[in-house]
Amino acid sequence: MKKTLILGGSTVMKDGTSPQDVLIDVTGVIEDVRPDIQDHRDAEVVDAKGALLFPLLVDCHVHFREPGLEHKATMETEATAALAGGVGTVCEMPNTIPPTVSVEALKEKVRIASHVGHLKIKFFFGITEPAHLEELQKIWTSKDIGVEMLKRHIAGVKLYLDHSTGDQKVEAIMLDAVFSVCAELKILIVAHCEDPDMNKAASEKIVNHSGGSISSASKTSALTVDLHSEMRPPESEVKAIKDAIALVRKYKGAFHVAHLSTKGGLDEVRTAKKEGLPVTCEVAPHHLFLTTDDYKTIGTLGKMNPPLRSLEDRNALWAGIEDGTVDCVSTDHAPHTLEEKQNKFPLQAPSGVPGVELMFPLLLTVTSGHWPHPTSKKPSAKISYQDIHRLCLTRPVEIFGLEHDAIEKNKKARLSIVEPETRWVVERKNLKTKCGWSPYEGWKLQGRIREIIAR
């Protein structure tokens, strides 16, 4: 077995990009990183001239569907998709069957993940009732070494403030207890922020116009998918974020807003940060690149929670990336089968879209100065390779307490070789995710991952 020398590339670090060769020893550990490594007689040479060398990135919000929903995806299939997209670490959500709300359910996920090669997987612990909070406390306080070791597999607690896929909504009466306990134990809370009462009122208003009821509304083709955005209005997200921040102010625990989608929600986070509160947030590619205008072309393939928003909201998210308010980009990778998504009753189609393998190429396209969306206007915000490093590696590692993949001496070699000038088209036949479709199908991207090295 030979060493590997990656020759002629430029490494992307958090503080800059510079020409560096990378020598990897036979055990997969980086032996040297520096310009112009000359002595490589005993190494297999990989020509990376003109290429970028990125550390493997983090997607801190994915749904890999296993156990219980393997017809949609498995940890193995989605690990393949993640690695193909230059992602080496993910944080996986609790809404599986059974949900990750107990010691035993977490153990089972850890067991499954132990057989998945090269992708690092951490898990969120779900809470919807007092028994789940007791299970979490058991993990954090147990003297049993087997239970205690589960802590290192947990990225945080996930709360759904309204129903989404998996019906894991936490009752409002539980919120004070969860925020109090998590602050005391120093456990990060991540929340899907939508207000259930505002969503219900908006839904009732729409279905009343149709002469039906909420229970029957999803079973009619007369109500089109674009109404999904009206049934979960922007004001719902803003109120939920504001209410959650009030609990952060009260208990002082770390809080992270999942898949933030609105200008108003971003303003709440910006204000909280200025106040010095431990509040962070993420945005998803589908909210950065799609708007309500896209329903007319992709239909139910654009249905997710929170739903697609206006062009103004989309532009505000990009501005939030540019000014540093947005901490992370993560995909909310949520595969459903194409048959499920193409339901003849649009509002009955499940919410969620895949994205883990295209997050990085979409962002690379924007760094190149191009805009991948075929019809919408490019926002004014600009991003750099260092922004990608910050949004998809540095900040997720800091927020979720993850192991940092870096192109450094004595670290395991975990990197992607990227051709920044290569243009390509998203085609369904080339996707690795088990569900086999993407809302970005047909989009022209710039920046192709040529090779993944994951040791």
Section 178-183 average pLDDT? 98
Q: φ and ψ at 139, to 5 degrees?
A: -65, -40
Q: Give the pLDDT score at 164.
A: 75
Q: What are phi and psi of 55, to 5 degrees?
A: -60, 155
Domain match, 25 and 142 both: no
The DSSP letter of residue 56 is P
Residue 153 lies in a domain: yes
331 found inside a domain: yes
Pair 323, 236 in one domain: yes
Q: Predicted confidence band at 20 (pLDDT cuts at 50, 70, 90)?
A: very high
Task: Provide the H-helix boundaries in 260-383.
Answer: 263-274, 285-289, 295-298, 311-323, 338-341, 359-367
d(CA 135, CA 128): 12
Query: What is the per-residue pLDDT for 221?
Result: 61
Query: Both 166 and 196 in a single domain?
Result: yes
Q: With residue 12 as reference, give the H or E element that holds it.
A: strand 10-13
Please tell me whether residues 119 and 138 are part of one structural domain. Answer: yes
Residues 98 and 22 in one domain: no
Catalytic sites, residue numbers: 332
Residue 171 belongs to domain with CATH number: 3.20.20.140
Residues 109, 243 within the same domain: yes
Mean pLDDT of 144-156: 93
pLDDT score for 234? 98
Residues 38 and 85 in one domain: no
Q: Is 235 found in the same domain as 214?
A: yes
Work out the mean pLDDT of the chain and round it to a whole number: 95
Residue 212 predicted with pLDDT over 70: no
Taking the CA of residue 433 as centre, how many other CA atoms within 13 Å lie in the half-sphere pointing to its CB? Answer: 27
Domain count, the chain: 2
Interval 83-105 mean pLDDT? 98
Domain span including residue 23? 3-47
Confidence at residue 293, expressed as pLDDT on a 0 to 100 scale = 98
User: Is 25 in the same domain as 164?
Assistant: no
Q: Are residue 8 and residue 151 in the same domain, yes or no?
A: no
What confidence tens digit (pLDDT) does each residue in 326-377 have? Answer: 999 999 999 999 999 999 999 999 999 999 999 999 999 999 999 999 999 9
Residue 55 binned pLDDT confidence (cut-offs 50, 70, 90): very high
Q: pLDDT at residue 211 above 60?
A: no
